[in-house]
Structure 1
Amino acid sequence: MRLNRRTALTLGTTSALLATAAPVAAATPTAADPTATDAAETPPPTRVQAHRSITRRYLHETHRAGGTWSSVIAMADADGTFTDVVTEEPDRVVEAYSVNKIAVAVAVLDKVDRGLLRLDQRVEVTADIVIRDTDGIFGLDGAYPSSITLGHALAALLTVSDNTAVRLCGLVCPARELNDILRAKGFTHTQVVPVANPNRFFLGSTTPRETTTLLHRLAAGDLLSAASTKHLLDTLRSLTSFTDGIRLRLTSPERLRVATKAGWFKDGRNEAGLIFTPDGAAILSYALFASGHFTGDATTNDADFGATHPALRARAALGRTLMNATVHNDTTTSHPHQARYTPRNGG
């Protein structure tokens, strides 16, 4: 079932569309407390009903959150082929913010695959390259100059979304080369913005469709080598990675099934990723880009980059619905076994 907000507007209201999607097994959230249904919401019994449940939740939560949304949510069929479930302005060029760090990592790992870089080679962390913006970890070091491996820089880039790590990647993959690599792979809108220093750049733009395609091609293993693909997706699945959006209401084992990357700046609140079945098959993707005037006070929202922001509340509610939809895991694609969480107590 492929429905979008434009269809809702044609029908008159979002509520009219929600009514057309019934019946579904999942409970319909109430306007007073959309989180109240989390415990009661049960996995839909069929793939078609899973599509309807996702559509209903997306429309309800984004309507409540306000803002302008550009999104693609897709779910794998039994043969592993992804089918769109939700599309809303999927080809709109949007500011990607840190979601484009996935694309940066793809370009760097492409050079690793071609033997031009190594994950164990070292990059220099100098005082002038460190961004002290309270995001990430390099600004907390306090001891420069130092050096780290390229693998460490990529881990910081993709998990805690360290902006200094962007500059470290730029040392080994300058902006224009990075864009050339992405264009050669078919990503003409997923581009960074070069600046005067050739080794630095702003994170640039994308479209929900291109981000979705990038995610699907990563899952299929046709963007990078098997080793680089595993490295990137395992990093995004780490429990150290972003938890305030899609993963917020998920258990630790469920979070390990979600490879996600968020991005935010000014009024933008974005997140994109893949959800895997318990045995490691990619079954669902989401590319959610939101900006503009959200529900509530604009000044408060613009200063809130955490789980209390209306857009992140919407993504958290949607995350539970997306995870429930993955009970339809009868895909026939081959895949590695999923990692398990094994905490330690020092020693």
Structure 2
Amino acid sequence: MTNRVNRRTALGIGGAATAGAVLGLGSPAVAAPGGGAASDPQEEPLGTPRDKVALAYRVEKTRAGGNWYSYITVASSSGAAQVAAEENADTVVEAYSVNKIAVATAVLDKVDRGLLTLDQRVDVTAAIVVPGGDGIFSLDNAYPSSVTLGHVLAALLTVSDDTAVRLCGLVAPAAEINQILVAKGFPNTQVEPVANPNRFFLGTSTARETHNLLQALVGGTLLSPASTTFLLNLLRAPIAFNDGIRRTMSSDDRARIATKAGWFADARHEAGIIFSPAGAPVLTYVLFADGQADPDNFGATHPAVQARAALGPKFLAAVNGLTNPSAPSRRPRRYQPTNGG
């Protein structure tokens, strides 16, 4: 981990001037006529939705500091993906729990081919439970037990359950997951095998590949229609990650966003898709970040997490009114809280 961070830090990534050059936005502040004070970048004239997204990204990631590996696109009026931010998009990084989307993709690919079913059961033993990590399996203290594969994937992608990763490994070994992802066009999005073939670390990706995987998912070319709907429903669920992009939003706005976060050591990642109210995908974001201050803080006040929380409403405001005629409409499930009974 130390070598990885030092190598990235040595690249000199993260300054405002670098962001402006990468995004093609010029310098971060514009000199006033006659040599007056430079203007605040937040006060620069705004144009298209893509321009607004690009400016928001530049301001918030500069405020957070550290290193960013990002790829953000906004749908044009024709549906074509327009790049709003591209920074170190092809750098291979540890994706951490964002790669749980890739793991779920491999499992659902086997479901689509009739090799697995969502209602088949997997055994949960005390030996397979990850103690002290994220999720719910380590909390119920009732093993051995069994759950359906659908339950495993729901835990994997909503509460980011660490034990669910091991349960996926029981039905999709590491080598097979990697083969499936390569066949789908994602050679850098790979889990890391260990001695036990049914276990693995969550591995690597790039911002561009994670972006393209999400675009393929919402475009209907990654999985079957049933598996696509299943996966997106999990990523848009009210109990999915709410500390980042979705933090300061209404329940209706949160339902418009499919998202997955990942965190470990000094890294704080998030990737997802923003939909229009009618269910059209209009913005896809991948925000991998590391090297910020407060690396032992895994809560909502970490600088990179705060940056994403600020970006969420700005992204929504920027794409208000956008449609995407080239992609299927995917309306979220209606949130209906209950009071028991």
Normalised by the length of structure 2, the TM-score is 0.88
Rounded to whole Å, the distance in 2 between the matches of 1:80 and 1:203 is 32
Corresponding residue for residue 56 of structure 1: 55
Rounded to whole Å, the distance in 2 between the matches of 1:9 and 1:177 is 37
The partner residue of 1:15 within 20, 29, 42 is 29
Q: Which moved more, 1:7-16 or 1:87-96?
A: 7-16
Corresponding residue for residue 272 of structure 1: 271
What SS does structure 2 have at the residue aligned with 1:147? strand
Rounded to whole Å, the distance in 2 between the matches of 1:86 and 1:322 is 12
Rounded to whole Å, the distance in 1 between the matches of 2:285 and 2:168 is 26
Corresponding residue for residue 193 of structure 1: 192
The amino acid that maps onto 1:95 is E
| 1:139-158 correspondence to structure 2 within 5 Å | 139-158=138-157
Corresponding residue for residue 35 of structure 1: none
Question: Percent identity of the aligned residues?
Answer: 56
Q: Deviations over 1:132-174 (max 9, x none)?
A: 1241000001010000000000000000000100000000000
Cα distance, 1:9 vs. partner?
Answer: 9.9
Corresponding residue for residue 234 of structure 1: 233
User: In 2, are the aligned partners of 1:4 and 1:87 still within 8 Å (CA)?
Assistant: no
Rounded to whole Å, the distance in 1 between the matches of 2:218 and 2:328 is 11
The amino acid that maps onto 1:113 is D
| 1:121-200 correspondence to structure 2 within 5 Å | 121-200=120-199
Cα distance, 1:22 vs. partner?
Answer: 3.0
User: In 2, are the aligned partners of 1:246 and 1:317 still within 8 Å (CA)?
Assistant: yes
1:67 aligns with 2:66: yes
Q: Which 4+ runs in 1 deviate beyond 6 A?
A: 8-12
Rounded to whole Å, the distance in 2 between the matches of 1:19 and 1:122 is 54
Note the residue ranges of structure 1 that are not aligned, 5 or more in a row: 25-47, 296-300
Cα distance, 1:305 vs. partner?
Answer: 1.0
What SS does structure 1 have at the residue aligned with 2:29? helix
Rounded to whole Å, the distance in 2 between the matches of 1:173 and 1:138 is 19
Rounded to whole Å, the distance in 1 between the matches of 2:151 and 2:25 is 51
The partner residue of 1:344 within 330, 338, 341 is 338
Corresponding residue for residue 39 of structure 1: none
What SS does structure 1 have at the residue aligned with 2:48? helix
Cα distance, 1:51 vs. partner?
Answer: 1.7
Q: 1:198 to 1:57 in 2, by over 3 A?
A: same
1:119 aligns with 2:118: yes
Corresponding residue for residue 302 of structure 1: 295
Q: Deviations over 1:72-95 (max 9, x none)?
A: 111111222211111111111111
Rounded to whole Å, the distance in 2 between the matches of 1:50 and 1:214 is 23
Rounded to whole Å, the distance in 2 between the matches of 1:77 and 1:147 is 46
User: In 1, are the aligned partners of 2:276 and 2:322 still within 8 Å (CA)?
Assistant: yes
Cα distance, 1:15 vs. partner?
Answer: 2.7
Rounded to whole Å, the distance in 1 between the matches of 2:126 and 2:312 is 39
Rounded to whole Å, the distance in 2 between the matches of 1:11 and 1:128 is 53
Q: Deviations over 1:89-146 (max 9, x none)?
A: 1111111000000000000000000000000000000000000124100000101000
Query: Once superposed, what is the RMSD of the aligned Cα atoms?
Result: 2.0
Q: Deviations over 1:163-215 (max 9, x none)?
A: 10000000000000000000000100000000000000000000000000000
What SS does structure 1 have at the residue aligned with 2:110? helix
Q: Deviations over 1:48-70 (max 9, x none)?
A: 43222211211111111111001
What SS does structure 1 have at the residue aligned with 2:127? helix
Rounded to whole Å, the distance in 1 between the matches of 2:202 and 2:220 is 24
The amino acid that maps onto 1:257 is R
User: In 1, are the aligned partners of 2:20 and 2:27 still within 8 Å (CA)?
Assistant: no
The amino acid that maps onto 2:90 is D
The amino acid that maps onto 1:105 is A
Corresponding residue for residue 208 of structure 1: 207
Note the residue ranges of structure 2 that are not aligned, 5 or more in a row: 1-16, 31-38
Corresponding residue for residue 317 of structure 2: 324
Q: Which moved more, 1:133-142 or 1:332-341?
A: 332-341
The amino acid that maps onto 1:106 is T
Rounded to whole Å, the distance in 1 between the matches of 2:96 and 2:223 is 23
Corresponding residue for residue 298 of structure 1: none
Aligned length: 316
Rounded to whole Å, the distance in 2 between the matches of 1:20 and 1:304 is 28
What SS does structure 1 have at the residue aligned with 2:273? strand
Q: Deviations over 1:264-322 (max 9, x none)?
A: 00000000000111111111110000011x24xxxxx1211111000000000011111
The amino acid that maps onto 1:307 is A
Q: 1:18 to 1:334 in 2, by over 3 A?
A: farther
Corresponding residue for residue 10 of structure 2: none
User: In 1, are the aligned partners of 2:23 and 2:85 still within 8 Å (CA)?
Assistant: no
Rounded to whole Å, the distance in 2 between the matches of 1:246 and 1:238 is 14
User: In 2, are the aligned partners of 1:18 and 1:56 still within 8 Å (CA)?
Assistant: no
Normalised by the length of structure 1, the TM-score is 0.87
Corresponding residue for residue 78 of structure 2: 79
Cα distance, 1:342 vs. partner?
Answer: 1.2
Corresponding residue for residue 31 of structure 1: none
Rounded to whole Å, the distance in 1 between the matches of 2:147 and 2:331 is 30
